[in-house]
Amino acid sequence: MDLDATDRRILNVLQKEGRITNADLSERVNLSPSACHRRTQRLEEEGYIAAFVALLDARKLGRATTVFVEITLEGQAEELLDAFEREVARIPHILECHLMAGTADYLLKIMVEDTEDFARIHRQFLSRLPGVRQMQSSFALRTVFKTTAMSV
């Protein structure tokens, strides 16, 4: 399905206000409530809307420190990549894991309490990942900009 301008408006509003009522959404995108509901339902069914979630405040949860970890594996064999991906998905606090092109094979984004918390996670989990040749961690000093909304 191709997205038209109305679909894009719906997606843009929902990305920023996921709890908006259908009545308010329909008003914002200039549709009747029933037409708006049908379109939103279709966008969900066709996978444009992957999920509705609550974005949590990491500071209030005591995880104000963001760590980016670059991981280089010993090789690129399918079995090694699969084993690494299976194990990394089980580690608490990892928000994202990306297979990369470039100097590192994977990039992880981890939210932790502080450097001691990261050291614990490194000791208990990261150091035990299969096939790791090199690991480099970078601590974010400050988040300048952060969004989950994509331009549609």
For residues 133-142, average pLDDT: 97
C-alpha–C-alpha distance, residues 71 and 85, integer Å: 12
pLDDT above 80: residue 32: yes
Cβ–Cβ under 8 Å, residues 6 and 12: no
Could you read off the pLDDT of 73-124 as tens digits, one per residue?
A: 999 999 999 999 999 999 989 999 999 999 999 999 999 999 999 999 999 9
Listed in order, the ranges of the chain carrying CATH 1.10.10.10 are: 5-45
Could you count the other beta carbons within 10 Å of the beta carbon of residue 138? 11
Q: So what's the pLDDT on residue 76?
A: 92
Q: How confident is the model at residue 146 (pLDDT cuts 50, 70, 90)?
A: very high
- DSSP assignment letter at 10: H
Listed in order, the ranges of the chain carrying CATH 3.30.70.920 are: 65-139
Q: What is the mean pLDDT of the chain?
A: 96
Q: So what's the pLDDT on residue 47?
A: 96
Cβ–Cβ under 8 Å, residues 38 and 99: no
Cβ–Cβ under 8 Å, residues 43 and 7: yes
Could you read off the pLDDT of 45-66 as tens digits, one per residue?
A: 999 999 999 999 999 999 999 9
- Its pTM stands at 0.88
Cβ–Cβ under 8 Å, residues 68 and 38: no
Question: What is the CATH architecture of 5-45?
Answer: Orthogonal Bundle (1.10)
The CATH label, of 3.30.70.920, 3.40.50.2300, 2.60.120.10, 3.40.309.10, for the domain at 65-139 is 3.30.70.920
